[in-house]
Chain A
Amino acid sequence: MRYEPLNVGRWVLWGATALVFIVAPFVFRGGFALTLMTQMGIMIIFALSYNMLLGQGGMLSFGHAVYSGLGAYIAVHALNLAGKGAFPLPVALLPLVGGLAGLFFGVIFGYVTTKKAGVTFAMITLGLLELVFACVLMFPGFFGGEGGITTNRTAAPAPFGVNFGAPLQVYFLVAVWCFASMAAMFALTQTPLGRMANAVRDNPERAEFVGYNTQYVRFIQLMLSAFFAGVSGALSCVNFEIVSAENVSAVRSGGVLLAAFIGGFPFFFGPIIGAIVFVFFAAALSGFTKAWLLYLGLFFVGMVLYAPGGIASLVLMQFPVLRIGRFRELAWPYTGAGAAALVAIAGLVGIVEMVYRLSDTSLSSQMTLFGIDFDAKNTLPWIGFAVTLAAGIGLLRMAWRAVSARWNAIQHDLLARQKAAA
């Protein structure tokens, strides 16, 4: 009887996750690492809440930033009022305010959007997003127009002397809320509603014939998802101390879709990986190059084409191989493919960066990349990077053949073992 398993593995996994949250700021020291990790925590909540729709409910939403953004706006006003002494709201509970605001808008907008599923749902969410974005700019009194609304998190009541002036305190605020949200959202997948959301995703018709109103299943799932989106919105308000129209923008909505997809929306933990990768691109890589969005886009397209299950699926595919102890055979082919990919990426990056440098007339064409100084107006670097790219792609194809050959042999073995077991 497996229906109530004593899942030791699950407890170990959650314990390890909590441990990572606690030790991370002491392992990765420095202000920048802390900023990055704080943003990752916020993005993880947002991406997981998005995946309650896409992954678990089969609802492709183009407007999820509506809930995080409006949650953030309500939170920023609440924080400012608390700062003026209107009510004694500690910053630590602000995510709850954001969450309830998200829930409120989830009830209002979700009732409309979840009336339909599939493409119609996607279109309605897109329209709603544009509508809300337009409203935000139309009512600067409440939304602060283009400039947005600023706040000061240290002005709010500070019980126990924790005023969130220090970034480390903000990190731990995010960490606690992130961990709690992760646990709550995972728990939700294990409830009747969570299971029926999967059922409605896979076969809405059959779900109706076992007594479920598919519209209600989608609606409730969206409301709960909007709550967590609001939590992440409030946390971003605390972190950045500003909320602007960007928070409800199509860019933000698209970003969370990208994160969920890159990480792997069919799996609960996929969007966690996706959020980490996304923030790495958006916050870390953006400091080095203006072309970060292009790289993110290429990465996204690559994932869609070659690994539609996201990074999570790539990781999970290795487990059966590990279990039969044949992963070692793949180690060299993987290393080779990885190295070849790096060569190709180096060539690509060189070309992209030179194009960027030349397109920006305010900058000199003299540039440094991978520790090499060169002039983007010369032909030699172009040839060099083009050759590197071509060589990288050629090597990658060869390495890929080696990987597939090994991989297929191992899969063959796995299948044979499965048959023998059955």
Chain B
Amino acid sequence: MTAAAIELREVRKSFGKTEIIRGVSLSIAKGERHALIGPNGAGKSTLFNLISGRFELSSGNILLNGEDITGLRPFEINRKRLSRSFQITNIFQNMTVYENIRCGELWAAGYKYSFWHRVGGLRDVAERTEEVLEKIGLAKRRHVLAGVLSYAEQRALEIGITIAGGASVILLDEPTAGMSRSETARAIELIRSVTEGKTLIMVEHDMGVVFGLADRISVLVYGEILASGTQEEVQASAAVQEAYLGSTHKEMADA
């Protein structure tokens, strides 16, 4: 049996006396598109921060492709081919779109801290950058400073930086937050195409996006996983219905 792409074992996280993540165990298979949903403050982003090494765990273990990555620092986890995006756009504002994507690639392409390669002469990096720019639809905007892009473009760039290094496990934190309907539709297509053959975990509020993309869904409420399964299984879950009384429940039923 092959190891899961991501496996969480009894993961807990406290800030002071408040326990935000209360014993989450979750296994996500390779190649699966997994959505993490739940009300505000449920700990979805915190869970992402734990997996990607931004926060330290209070207890428990996280395994990436069967390898324990608990306690590793963000860059070490990234080098094991796990890459993430951020809920609040986190890009290199003073660099051009092209340079942003390139920054996402240099390490993965093996150039590391090199000060003997001319960055403009790296064929492989240049080709890969073109490819990513084409994919995220920003090829025409390559010379624009990232800081002056429109919101939707910045979100696309955020995804571009995340996938540029060719990571096998990709974490997207609310990739469509604040987007219009048409922008969201384009974002779904983008996410679908760039995560082809990869493992995707995303936090998302928009149920349309979730049901359109995810193979499986986990519902996180107050730091605990209430249910995990396919769309039908989750919708049928009594615990979820109880937690999601009201608008979201209706939204889920409608979708």
Given contact pairs A195-B103, A205-B90, A208-B75, A4 touches B126 in the complex (Cβ within 8 A):
yes
The complex places the Cα of A214 from the Cα of B78 at a distance, in Å, of 13
Given contact pairs A196-B106, A208-B75, A188 touches B115 in the complex (Cβ within 8 A):
yes
**Residue of chain A at shortest CB distance from B74:** A208
- Looking at the complex, which one of B92, B113, B142 makes contact with A216 (CB distance below 8 Å)? B113
- Looking at the complex, which one of A3, A203, A208, A224 makes contact with B92 (CB distance below 8 Å)? A203
Decide if A4 touches B117 in the complex (CB within 8 Å): no
The complex places the Cα of A288 from the Cα of B227 at a distance, in Å, of 82
The complex places the Cα of A195 from the Cα of B92 at a distance, in Å, of 11
Interface residue A161 (Cβ < 8 Å from any Cβ of B): no
Decide if A191 touches B114 in the complex (CB within 8 Å): yes
Decide if B114 touches A211 in the complex (CB within 8 Å): no
A residues within 8 A CB of B111?
192
- Looking at the complex, which one of B84, B112, B120, B161 makes contact with A3 (CB distance below 8 Å)? B120
Decide if A193 touches B114 in the complex (CB within 8 Å): yes
Within 8 A of B (CB), among A188-214: 188, 190-196, 198-199, 202-203, 205-214
Decide if A4 touches B120 in the complex (CB within 8 Å): yes
Decide if B113 touches A211 in the complex (CB within 8 Å): no
Of the listed stretches B93-101, B214-222, B232-240, chain A binds B93-101
Given contact pairs A203-B93, A209-B78, A196 touches B113 in the complex (Cβ within 8 A):
yes
Interface residue A323 (Cβ < 8 Å from any Cβ of B): no
CB-defined interface of B18-32 with A at 8 Å, one 1/0 digit per residue? 000000000000000
Nearest CB of chain A from residue B159's CB, rounded to whole Å = 13
- Looking at the complex, which one of A1, A5, A209 makes contact with B52 (CB distance below 8 Å)? A209
Nearest CB of chain A from residue B158's CB, rounded to whole Å = 9
Decide if B73 touches A208 in the complex (CB within 8 Å): yes
Nearest CB of chain B from residue A111's CB, rounded to whole Å = 15
Interface residue B102 (Cβ < 8 Å from any Cβ of A): yes
Interface residue A166 (Cβ < 8 Å from any Cβ of B): no
Which range holds the interface residue count of chain B? 35 or more
CB-defined interface of B118-162 with A at 8 Å, one 1/0 digit per residue? 111110001001100000000000110000000000000000010
The complex places the Cα of A194 from the Cα of B106 at a distance, in Å, of 12
Nearest CB of chain B from residue A211's CB, rounded to whole Å = 3
Interface residue B15 (Cβ < 8 Å from any Cβ of A): no
A residues within 8 A CB of B108?
211
Decide if A195 touches B119 in the complex (CB within 8 Å): yes
Which range holds the interface residue count of chain A? 20 to 34
Decide if A195 touches B161 in the complex (CB within 8 Å): no
A residues within 8 A CB of B121?
4
**Residue of chain B at shortest CB distance from A3:** B126
Interface residue B104 (Cβ < 8 Å from any Cβ of A): yes
B residues within 8 A CB of A187?
118
The complex places the Cα of A203 from the Cα of B100 at a distance, in Å, of 11
- Looking at the complex, which one of B78, B93, B99 makes contact with A211 (CB distance below 8 Å)? B78
Decide if B103 touches A207 in the complex (CB within 8 Å): yes
Decide if B73 touches A199 in the complex (CB within 8 Å): no
Decide if B91 touches A203 in the complex (CB within 8 Å): yes
Interface residue A29 (Cβ < 8 Å from any Cβ of B): no
Interface residue A220 (Cβ < 8 Å from any Cβ of B): yes
B residues within 8 A CB of A194?
115, 119
Interface residue B70 (Cβ < 8 Å from any Cβ of A): no
Interface residue A328 (Cβ < 8 Å from any Cβ of B): no
Interface residue B79 (Cβ < 8 Å from any Cβ of A): yes
Interface residue A222 (Cβ < 8 Å from any Cβ of B): no
Decide if B95 touches A192 in the complex (CB within 8 Å): no
Nearest CB of chain A from residue B251's CB, rounded to whole Å = 32
Decide if B129 touches A3 in the complex (CB within 8 Å): yes
Interface residue A341 (Cβ < 8 Å from any Cβ of B): no
- Looking at the complex, which one of B54, B98, B112 makes contact with A192 (CB distance below 8 Å)? B112
The complex places the Cα of A220 from the Cα of B143 at a distance, in Å, of 28
The complex places the Cα of A193 from the Cα of B122 at a distance, in Å, of 13
- Looking at the complex, which one of A190, A206, A212 makes contact with B118 (CB distance below 8 Å)? A190
The complex places the Cα of A16 from the Cα of B244 at a distance, in Å, of 71
**Residue of chain B at shortest CB distance from A5:** B120
A residues within 8 A CB of B118?
187, 190-191
A residues within 8 A CB of B119?
190-192, 194-195
Interface residue B43 (Cβ < 8 Å from any Cβ of A): no
Interface residue A234 (Cβ < 8 Å from any Cβ of B): no
**Residue of chain B at shortest CB distance from A193:** B115
- Looking at the complex, which one of B122, B142, B161 makes contact with A206 (CB distance below 8 Å)? B161
Nearest CB of chain B from residue A45's CB, rounded to whole Å = 18
Decide if B75 touches A192 in the complex (CB within 8 Å): no
- Looking at the complex, which one of B54, B93, B104 makes contact with A202 (CB distance below 8 Å)? B93
CB-defined interface of A349-367 with B at 8 Å, one 1/0 digit per residue? 0000000000000000000
Interface positions of B (Cβ within 8 A of A): 52, 54, 73-75, 78-79, 83-84, 86, 90-95, 98-99, 102-104, 106-108, 111-122, 126, 129-130, 142-143, 161, 164-165
Besides the contacts A192-B114, A211-B78, A211-B107, what 8 more A-B pairs have beta carbons closer than 8 Å? Answer: A1-B126, A190-B118, A192-B122, A195-B99, A202-B95, A203-B92, A211-B108, A220-B115
Interface positions of A (Cβ within 8 A of B): 1-5, 187-188, 190-196, 198-199, 202-203, 205-214, 216-217, 220, 224
A-B CB proximity, top 9 nearest: A211-B107, A193-B115, A192-B111, A208-B74, A211-B78, A3-B126, A191-B115, A192-B114, A192-B106
21 residue pairs of the A-B complex, CB under 8 angstroms, read: A191-B114, A191-B115, A191-B118, A192-B119, A193-B113, A195-B99, A195-B102, A195-B119, A196-B103, A199-B92, A199-B95, A199-B103, A202-B92, A206-B91, A208-B74, A209-B74, A209-B75, A210-B106, A211-B108, A213-B73, A217-B113
